Amino acid sequence: MRLTFSDQELSVFAKHNTNEDAIRNLMFDLSRGNEIIDEDGRVVSKAEANDKLRAFALDFIGLEKGFTPRELKRAFKKEKIQRFFELIEEVVDDTLDVGYRESEWFNKLVDYRNIAQGDSEKFKVEDENIILSIAVVGKSHHDYILQRPALGSEYTLPFVRYGAAVGLDINRYLVGQEDFAKLIAMLVKSIMIKNQGIIYGAITNAVNNLRVTAGFVNHGQLTSGTKDDFDEIVDNVKAVYGTAVIVGTKTALRKITGLANVQWASDSQKESIAAMGRLGSYEGTDLIEVEQRFADKTLTTKLMDDTKIYILPSEDYKIVDFVTRGETEVDEITEKGEEHGRIDDIGKYELQYEQAVAVKANRQFGVWTIDQ
């Protein structure tokens, strides 16, 4: 449900000749880097849009330019800043939803449900012997719970609550030294990267539940000498389901060009290699690239395994069930002190959200591991 505003808050919108939807759209466009056009059809620069949003934020929070630290502290205590962040929550939700729906690899692999957008949280069993490998992610580990719903029945997934912390110097933003849109983009990016790792990790774990491994699981360098073995996996998946797609990181998919020195590739495919750094398809089978990400700021560990290539049933088959409540919460920690997790003027914001992820391991698929 969208926020409702008090008469006093609505008067702030009116003062700036705007409304709730216009502010949400402005924040959304800033976070997405969209071109911003005003009601007169004029293109608005990013700097001008940020200035407009900042001026509104100051009035909404109840501060004026040149505010003192004491006045900022009072705004925190009156929960006016939290009310502004409730607007941010809705923008984060909208940006995440659009991001998921626009992601090629996500849409190829995931049956996505957003309860806040009116989607059903129930999934229907349409194949016999379905096995759900449900990913429950803790602080430092993954637990996988197997379920076997009956054919024709409906099932729901257990929701798990996730959290992340983000810091932003409130003073710097409100005085115009920090771009507030970066916070929204950072929140959205942190959730999407986390989910990318969860989904890819769940698919990796589902390999353990494959009913048949001979002819579907193999390893080695991708060279002309292993082409027949790799082709066998692709052919076997197609023999069962009629079609197949090949999924992996760019580093992994790039290795496919070594199967036969791409002598079989058409001129258009060779142009694709030059432009994309990899093939767009392999002998008629589409390649889907999963974007690689680092797990944290140390830049030492990557989320996805660059040695794994998955040959999945088809473009229509969604191997992953993913459902979110679509109601992200952002809370600020306003008290200084180690016991509160804050020792300076940098505002610490805790981001929390609920979702559930499961892999349908009822279909046979293929895996090739690239030897290092």
> pLDDT, tens digit, for every residue of 299-315?
677 777 889 999 988 76
Report the share of the chain in percent with pLDDT over 90.
12
* pLDDT more than 70, % of the chain: 77
Report d(CA 262, CA 230) in Å as an integer: 14
Would 167 be classed as within a structural domain? no
pLDDT for residue 312: 86
Does residue 307 or residue 177 have the better pLDDT? 307
Residue 192 vs residues 185, 204, 323: alpha-carbon distances, Å: 11, 18, 14
Which H or E element spans position 333? strand 329-333
Residue 255 and residue 96: Cα distance in Å, rounded? 32
195 is a domain residue: no
Given a cut of 70, is residue 137 above it in pLDDT?
no
At residue 265, the pLDDT reads: 58
112-117 own/partner pairs: CB under 8 Å, 24+ apart: 112/322, 112/323, 113/321, 113/322, 113/323, 113/324, 114/323, 114/324, 114/326, 115/323, 115/324, 115/325, 115/326, 116/324, 116/325, 116/326, 116/327, 117/326
Quote the tokens at residue 210: 């494959």
* pLDDT for residue 114 is more than 80: yes
pLDDT, position 341: 43
Name which of 360, 331, 91 is nearest 199 in CA terms: 360
Q: Which amino acid, residue 10? A: L
For the whole model, what pTM was predicted? 0.72
Q: Specify the higher pLDDT residue, 358 or 272.
A: 358
- Residue 66 lies inside a defined structural domain of this protein: no
User: What range does the domain containing 309 cover?
Assistant: 210-319+364-369
> What average pLDDT does the segment 232-250 reach?
89
Predicted pLDDT at 13: 93
Q: How far apart are CA 307 and CA 221, in angstroms?
A: 10
Distances (CA, A) of 290 to 79, 270, 308, 309: 41, 21, 11, 10
Contacts of 371 (CB under 8 A, 6+ apart): 219, 220, 221, 307
Q: In this structure, is residue 221 part of a structural domain? A: yes
Inside any domain, residue 300: yes
Into how many domains does the chain fold?
Answer: 1
Beta-bridge partner residues of 352: 163, 329
User: In this structure, is residue 161 part of a structural domain?
Assistant: no
Q: Residue 150 has what DSSP assignment?
A: P
CA atoms within 13 A on the CB side of 147: 17
Helix (H, G, I), strand (E, B), or coil: what is residue 155?
Answer: strand
Query: Which residues are paired to 160 by β-bridges?
Result: 355
In one-letter notation, the amino acid at residue 79 is E
Give the best-scoring range by mean pLDDT among 33-37, 126-130, 273-277, 347-351.
Answer: 33-37
The CA distance from 272 to 266, in Å, is 10
Please indicate, yes or no, if residue 258 is contained in any of the structural domains: yes
Q: Does the residue 11 lie in any domain?
A: no
Specify whether the backbone of 265 is left (phi greater than 0), alpha (psi in -120 to 50) or beta. Answer: beta
> What number is the average pLDDT over the span 157-181?
73
